[in-house]
């Protein structure tokens, strides 16, 4: 199956899922967002991602969210006061996003159906581009170039995403592929350390932090409770600062050239 076919498959998957939410009006699915959507032992990268956005974004900025989906991570951007355009390939997902932000903040957010490989915006349009878990849904080089193109000089790209080195996590993703829960191209395009290096080389400035090197052990650690599992997983990351076997990473790159 080609990347184009996979993109259509993912579009249909997320469009159907979002349509189910729209039709059933499950309000509880709209009131929870961001790091709170994840078990405590998986929250650290998302909490850090949110802290970076809160620290950097303000009402003087124009922000673009790519692969926004149903708006699970949009709230923190909207709360910053930045002018935001949330984009996704799935029109139904964006309808859920609008409903989610309306429920949460009573604000109408601007959305646009857009492919992250071909962003319908002029060069140097945004102060920030934000992404949460969406990089594997596009060709890494094309997406990188599109982000670079639409960012102003001095603008930043901030993302949280998965890393594709730890064999345990790689195996788990292939199981999901075999079960029909994800497409092959998303496995092949999962970010790696070399992907991060490409961003640093192109943009000129890059900071990355890594999380969840032993998340694979969470089923065993949870025997002693979620709080214990969280303290061990997060503590391991803080002590050893391992990159290659990490589960997630948060990256902030600045366009300095």
Question: What are the mean pLDDT values of the chain's consecutive 10-residue runs (257 residues total)?
Answer: 78 88 72 90 97 97 97 96 97 94 93 97 98 96 98 98 95 94 93 97 97 95 95 96 95 96
CATH of the domain at 147: 3.40.50.150
DSSP string, 23-91: HHT-HHHHH--GGGGS-GGG-HHHHHHHHHHHHH--TT-EEEESS-TTTTTTHHHHHTT-EEEEEES-H
The predicted structure's pLDDT at residue 22: 83
Residue with tokens 């992907």: 195
The predicted structure's pLDDT at residue 23: 84
Alpha helices in 106-180 (DSSP H): 140-150, 167-178
Counted domains in the chain: 1
Closest C-alpha among 200, 220, 211, 192 to residue 38 = 211
CA distance 99 to 82: 19
Cα dihedral 156, 162, 165, 168, rounded to 10, equals 170
How many CB atoms neighbour CB 127 within 10 A?
19
The predicted structure's pLDDT at residue 100: 92
The predicted structure's pLDDT at residue 1: 46
Q: What angle do CA 215, 250, 73 make, to 5 degrees?
A: 95
- Angle, helix 3-24 to helix 91-105, in steps of 10 degrees: 40
Tokens of 141: 């080089």
Tokens of 243: 């990159």
Rg (CA), the chain: 18
Predicted TM-score of the model (pTM) = 0.94
Judge whether 65 and 86 are in contact, CB under 8 Å.
Answer: yes
143: domain range?
Answer: 3-255
CA distance 143 to 149: 10
| Residue 86, C-beta contacts closer than 8 angstroms, at least 6 positions apart | 65, 68, 71, 74, 77, 94, 97, 109, 110, 111, 112
- Burial class of 4 by CB neighbour count within 10 A (0 to 12, 13 to 18, 19+): exposed
Determine the straight-line distance between the first and last CA of the chain, rounded to whole angstroms: 37
Burial 35-65, CB ≥16 within 10 A → b, else e:
beeeebbbbbbbbbbbebbeebbeeebebbb
């Amino acid at each position: 199956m080609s990347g184009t076919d996979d993109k259509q498959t993912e579009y249909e998957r997320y469009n159907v899922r979002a349509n189910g939410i729209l039709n059933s009006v499950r309000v509880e699915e709209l009131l929870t967002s961001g790091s709170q959507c994840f078990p405590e032992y998986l929250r650290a990268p998302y909490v850090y991602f949110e802290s970076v956005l809160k620290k950097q974004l303000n009402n003087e900025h124009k922000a673009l969210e790519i692969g926004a989906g149903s708006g699970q991570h949009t709230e923190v951007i909207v709360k910053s006061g930045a002018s935001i355009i949330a984009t996704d390939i799935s029109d139904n997902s964006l309808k859920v996003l609008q409903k989610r932000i309306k429920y949460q903040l009573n604000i109408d957010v601007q959305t646009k159906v857009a492919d992250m490989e071909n962003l319908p915006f002029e060069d140097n349009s945004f102060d920030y581009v934000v992404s949460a878990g969406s990089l594997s849904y596009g060709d890494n080089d094309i997406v990188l170039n599109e982000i670079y193109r639409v960012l102003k000089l001095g603008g930043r790209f901030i993302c949280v995403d998965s890393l594709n080195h730890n064999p345990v996590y790689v195996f788990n993703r292939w199981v999901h592929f075999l079960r029909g829960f994800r497409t092959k191209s998303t496995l092949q395009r999962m970010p790696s350390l070399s992907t991060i290096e490409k961003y640093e080389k192109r943009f000129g400035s890059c900071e990355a932090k890594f999380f969840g090197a032993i998340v694979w052990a969470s089923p065993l650690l949870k025997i002693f409770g979620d709080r214990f599992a969280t303290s061990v997983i997060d503590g391991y990351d803080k002590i050893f600062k391992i990159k290659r076997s990490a589960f997630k990473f948060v990256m902030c790159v600045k366009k300095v050239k």
